[in-house]
Amino acid sequence: MSIDRFLNKHRSWEDWFGMLLGLLIILSPWLTGQANNGLGANVDPGMPLLNAVCVGVLIFGFAQLEYIVLRRWEEACEVALGFWLIASPHIFGYAGGGTLRLWHTALGGIVILLGVLTLWQDWDLSDDELAKHGQ
């Protein structure tokens, strides 16, 4: 019964967790030691790095927007960015190995789960109820 109440209300810690995920995504190339090397012979090292920074900044920004003014489109964008982060290793050619691929797959999955959870929590709320978020 308490898990049902826990999952039915959008809480501000979810927005803070989204911001933390954005920071982890930004730092993931450096945390894995693959910022400029170790991605493979045929991979331009700048693309995975640029992708991680851009996606992380966007996820951080959308989570921060959710914390300030809650809208459903922000959560939908986070879900789309999570799918992009999972697909990135295959698009940019660093899916063959290394821990950056695993980090992006795992972090993308967590972003998707968090975005779906918050979208589900806010689906039936009116605009006035969304405006009261965080108060």
- Condensed to tens digits (0 to 9), the pLDDT of residues 73-100 reads 888 899 999 999 999 999 888 877 678 8
Does the structure show a pLDDT above 60 at 131? no
DSSP state of 41: T
Instruction: Give the per-residue pLDDT at 34.
Output: 74
Instruction: Give the per-residue pLDDT at 55.
Output: 96
Q: Structurally, how many domains does the chain consist of?
A: 1
SS3 (DSSP) at 10: coil
pLDDT (mean) for 33-52:
71
Q: pTM of the entire structure?
A: 0.81
Tokens of 109: 């999955």
Q: What share of the chain is helix, strand, coil (3-state, %, to 5)?
A: 75, 0, 25
Q: What is the spatial distance between Cα 135 and Cα 126, in angstroms, rounded to a whole number? A: 16
Q: Which domain holds residue 30?
A: 2-131
Instruction: Give φ, ψ of 43 to 5 degrees.
Output: -110, 130
- Condensed to tens digits (0 to 9), the pLDDT of residues 15-41 reads 889 999 999 999 998 888 876 655 555
Report long-range pairs for 3-8 (Cβ below 8 Å, ≥24 apart): 7/117, 7/120, 7/121, 8/121
Q: Which residues contact 98 (CB under 8 A, 6 or more apart)?
A: 32, 34, 38, 39, 40
Return the minimum-mean-pLDDT range out of 18-27, 104-113, 119-128.
119-128
Instruction: Give the per-residue pLDDT at 135.
Output: 47
